Amino acid sequence: MDDIVAIALFRHGMTLENKRKAYLGWTDSTLVPGQVLTKIPGVFDWIFTSDLGRCRETAKILFPKNEPEISPELREMNFGDWEGKTFDQLKKDVMYQNWLDEPFKVSPPNGESFSAFTLRVEKGWNEITKRFLENRIQTAALVTHGGVIRYLLTRYATEERKFWDWNIPYGQGYRLTWSREGLRRGERCISLQEVPSMENQNGSENNIS
């Protein structure tokens, strides 16, 4: 079984800003009090997390015995001037309306384009998987954000789905399995499994955060 490797992608727990459905990219917000995170099924050899506080705090709860490595490339998309604002606050903004119509082409003002976001995430993923393979690691977990996980699933999941078709509940994720050579070649994984990690679930909003 040494030829089979797995990487799990976990979304951070719901934050106070997520709860009020605000755009949350590079700014941060504390986790909602009272979330009960369960023990993760399985053991992971290596833990990586976004450098933002909501992911680092989630990683501490999910993996209390591990010291995660920090990867700024695993950050959410930067929403620029829209950070901390809700749909109701933005709905009359013409640029925001254009972004809703073409989110992969229009960029938030003073924020990050989708292409810049995906290039950054891909760079971080390539660095992690390179080290994963060089060190003969068997399993790893990444604690990151909804947008990052959606992008990685569109690239590497067993089935092809559009970006917004992936549902990423807070505090939960997916376990992707490859042959070691398949991961080296950048192929789609050979199996995909949902990984529950949180009881008393506080929702699975289809937003980026």
Helices and strands (H, E) in the chain, number of each type = 7, 8
Quick one: DSSP state of residue 86? B
Question: Which CATH number fits the domain that encloses residue 141?
Answer: 3.40.50.1240
The answer to the question of residue 8 being in a domain is: yes
Query: What is the total count of domains within the chain?
Result: 1
Is the residue at 16 inside a domain?
yes
Residue 187 lies in a domain: yes
Q: Which domain holds residue 143?
A: 4-79+116-199
208 within a domain of the structure (yes/no): no
d(CA 19, CA 66): 28
Residue 64 has a pLDDT of 87
Report yes or no on 103 lying in a domain: no
Handedness of CA 81, 83, 87, 89 (dihedral sign): negative
Assign 161 to helix, strand or coil: coil
Whether 70 is covered by a domain: the verdict is yes
Partner residues linked to 22 by β-bridges: 86
pLDDT (tens, 9 = 90+) of the chain, 209 residues, equals: 579 999 999 999 999 999 999 999 999 999 997 664 556 666 899 999 999 999 999 999 889 889 999 999 999 999 999 999 999 999 999 999 999 999 999 999 999 999 999 999 999 999 999 999 999 999 999 999 999 999 999 999 999 999 999 999 998 899 999 999 999 999 999 999 998 754 444 444 444 55
**Position 12 in a domain:** yes
The per-residue pLDDT for 196 is 74
Q: Which residues contact 29 (CB under 8 A, 6 or more apart)?
A: 15, 16, 17, 18, 54
122 within a domain of the structure (yes/no): yes
